[in-house]
Amino acid sequence: MNQDISGGLDNTRCPEIIKILSLGRRSGRLFLNNGSATGNIFFRDGEVIHAQCGALQGIKAIYELAVWTSGEYTFSVDETPDIVTVDMPVDTILSEATNRIRQMDRIVSLIPSSTIVYAFDPDIKEKEITLKSIQWKVLAQIDGKKSIADIAQHIGLGVSDTMKVFYTLVKAGLLHEAYLAEVESTLDLIGLPDTPFIRALKDDLTRAVGPIAPFMITETAREMNIDLLAEDLEQKAALVETISSKIPSESMSLKFLDTMTDWIHTEAM
Amino acid sequence: MKGTVKDLLKISGVHGYAIVRDRNIQIKLPSKHRFAGAKNQIKILYDDLMQAQKRPGNTIEIYLEDLVLTVFISGITMLMVLSSTRVNLALVRMTGKLVIANLAKEKF
């Protein structure tokens, strides 16, 4: 196997790689791995001929891979697929992929991670709600325990498409984050102090890693011998830095670091 | 948080920074600082640290008698933050990681 291009998806996203391989009229397999899922895109003389991502195949798989913002990629020359599932000019694929990325950026501003768990909001404001069948399919899976990624896998839809459905449902006021409520109740259970710093830390970490956030905070504080009630800014910064290094997704880790650094900077003023 | 070098300069105890990319060096330090004219020494350090096997990781702290050099590396970009030994080093590392992530994304 001859690997001649590789790198990180945080610097170069999938559509850019497709464009480079297409312009170079390359043949082979582009393998992508974002830490929790993998995908393949096959090229013949610069044209995309097959793609696969989890259970998705063809153009849907490409659109799913296009929105990944972290992970790694490797291109291996001259590997050929057994089947052909894509028959579309690269320019058309790239144009739609770019639209998807724009859409995804908007979705991520409301739903930052596919690890988030949603529950039904009992206070619906609308008098009448009309749902599409795919929205109903997703709603039927919501139980306050399954994450968006779990539901995507369950109904055989791409994670990005499932997040899009969630975006509409959350916007319509049908859902709210289940974890935050659950985490509130686990705060007492595991003895996390209720201070503005710990609340901010817990909320941001929950967005990045889900309901294990309070456990991660106490465990890291214990390992570092840090008193969570201490007002020492250096200790707070050290705790945040160590926790950020434990977040598996690089983009989520940077997002967490971004918000918490802001918090500590404000406190330091 | 914008994750720019300005955020670094806001941290109490930070003297300034140096950014090195390939052959370009940008140094922002008070004119009388003893590293203000140390372009050559910084370039030598950069050349050494660009060889991944010669460095312990992508964030390196070098303690001198009266100051700390915190070095961040991503690809061919190096950010060096110069600060006093009494600075909140964890805050420097956190902010520096955000800055280097943004610098590495910039086209140059």
Cβ proximity of A118 and A178 under 8 Å: yes
Name A89's Cβ contacts closer than 8 Å, sequence gap at least 6.
A47
pLDDT tens by residue, B37-89: 888 899 999 998 988 777 878 899 999 988 999 999 998 999 999 999 989 99
Structural domain that includes position B70: 5-105
For Cα atoms A246, A204, A12, give the angle at the middle one, nearest 5 degrees. Answer: 65
Using CB atoms, pick whichever of B88, B97, B98 lies closest to residue A234: B88
pTM of the model: 0.52
Using a CB-CB distance cutoff of 8 angstroms, which residues of chain B are in contact with residue A244? 94, 97
Q: Helix, strand or coil for residue B41?
A: helix
pLDDT at residue number A183 = 52
pLDDT digits (tens, 9 = 90+) for A72-87: 899 998 888 989 999 9
The number of domains in chain B is: 1
Chain B hits for A234, Cβ within 8 Å: 88-91
Chain B residue at shortest CA distance from A12: B105
Chain A nearest CA to B4, separation (Å): 11
- Judging contacts by C-beta atoms under 8 Å, the chain B residues touching residue A10 are 101
SS3 sequence of chain A: CEEEEEEECCCCCHHHHHHHHHHCCCCEEEEEECCCCEEEEEEECCEEEEEEECCEECHHHHHHHHCCCCCEEEEEECCCCCCCCCCCCHHHHHHHHHHHHHHHHHHHHHCCCCCCEEEECCCCCCCCCCCCHHHHHHHCCCCCCCEHHHHHHHHCCCHHHHHHHHHHHHHCCCEEEHHHHHHHHHHHHHCCCCCHHHHHHHHHHHHHHHHHHHHHHHHHHHHCCCCCCCCCHHHHHHHHHHHHHCCCCHHHHHHHHHHHHHHHHHHHC
- Residue B23 Cα, gap to closest chain A Cα (Å): 21
Each residue's pLDDT expressed in tens, for chain A with a length of 269 residues = 466 788 888 778 899 999 999 999 999 999 999 877 899 999 999 999 999 998 889 999 999 999 888 888 999 988 889 899 999 999 999 999 999 888 888 888 888 888 888 888 777 767 778 888 999 999 899 888 888 988 998 888 888 899 999 999 888 888 888 765 555 555 555 567 888 899 899 888 988 888 788 888 988 998 898 888 888 888 899 999 999 988 888 888 888 998 898 888 887 76
| Residue range B26-32: mean pLDDT, rounded | 90
Kindly determine whether residue A257 and residue B98, on different chains, have CB atoms separated by under 8 Å.
Answer: yes
Chains A–B, number of C-beta pairs less than 8 Å apart: 52
The CATH number of residue B20's host domain is 3.30.450.30
Residue B85's region, left for phi above 0, alpha for psi from -120 to 50, else beta, is alpha
What is the DSSP code (8-state) at residue B57?
A: S
Is A234 within 8 Å of B101 when comparing Cβ atoms?
A: no
Residue of A nearest to B105 (CA): A11
Joined tokens for residue A159: 């994670």
Q: What count of other Cβ atoms lies within 10 Å of the Cβ of residue A74? A: 16
Phi, psi of B54 (to 5 degrees): -90, 0
Residues of A in contact with B70 (CB under 8 A): none
Interior angle at CA A204, CA A203 and CA A210, nearest 5: 75
Ramachandran bin of A215, using left for φ above 0, alpha for ψ from -120 to 50, beta for the remaining angles: alpha
